[in-house]
Copies of this chain bind each other. A is one copy, B any other.
Amino acid sequence: MDFSSKLLENAVYEMSQLPGIGKRTALRLVLHLLKQPKGRTDKLALALQDLRNTVKFCNNCHNISDTELCEICINPKRDATLVCVVEDIRDVMAIENTGQYRGLYHVLGGKISPMEGVGPQDLTITSLVHKAKNGEVKELIFALSSTMEGDTTNFYIYKQLEGLGVSTTTIARGIAVGDELEYADEVTLGRSILNRIPFEASLKAN
């Protein structure tokens, strides 16, 4: 693209460094900001810098937090013996939104992926194992995505926990509520039949 202004070119370049934002979209976003009052741009810039410069992560679960321990970890009503292992904080938000979970979380910060150069030492696995060794945890729920990387990570953690007396579970995979059977993929449908649950239990879940 041929920009008439170096300032514009620079702003579009920086914006297009964000994931999924191409040059054209970046230009559209930047031109939008130009049409808005100056305060809009200042607020956006400040909000991003504020977050980036003062971001904290919960010392216990590694969720993003404005305090040393996040609101979930300090909540006395939550069951601290139950820990749900997730990839990143978006998963925490998704599970929190269901209103169905009363335990704590452990945010790994990714999955083990040799292809992308992510090893166990890049994740918060050590602190998870440490928690388990302290006897704080009774049950660990694996809620990583069911990809090869997710399965590898689950298995790696599972091996680390051997002999610590922590029971491990994984979230149920199956046909989404409201989905038609005929459109489900075979792996999901297969698993949902193998891992069928007593009908009475399904009534309780609603």
Contact = CB atoms under 8 A, between A and B. Distances in A.
Interface of A: 1-8, 10-11, 13-15, 17-21, 25, 27-34, 38, 40-56, 58, 63-66, 70-72, 88-90, 92-93, 96-97
Contact of A11 (B17, B25, B28, B50): B50
Interface class of chain A by DSSP: helix
A90 B8 CA distance: 12
A65 B49 CA distance: 27
Contact of A65 (B5, B34, B65, B96): B5
B17 A44 contact: yes
Given A55-B34, A88-B31, A3 B50 contact: no
A7 B50 CA distance: 7
B19 A32 contact: yes
A53 B8 CA distance: 12
A203 to B, nearest CB: 28
A4 B75 CA distance: 12
Contacts of A89: 4, 31
Name the 10 nearest CB pairs between A and B, nearest first: A45-B45, A41-B52, A14-B47, A11-B51, A14-B44, A11-B47, A7-B51, A5-B64, A10-B47, A5-B66
Contact of A55 (B7, B20, B32, B43): B7
A64 B28 contact: no
Contacts of A44: 14-15, 17-18, 45, 48
A81 to B, nearest CB: 21
A89 B44 CA distance: 23
A11 B21 CA distance: 17
Contacts of A20: 25, 28-29
B4 A72 contact: yes
Given A27-B90, A45-B45, A52-B33, A4 B70 contact: yes
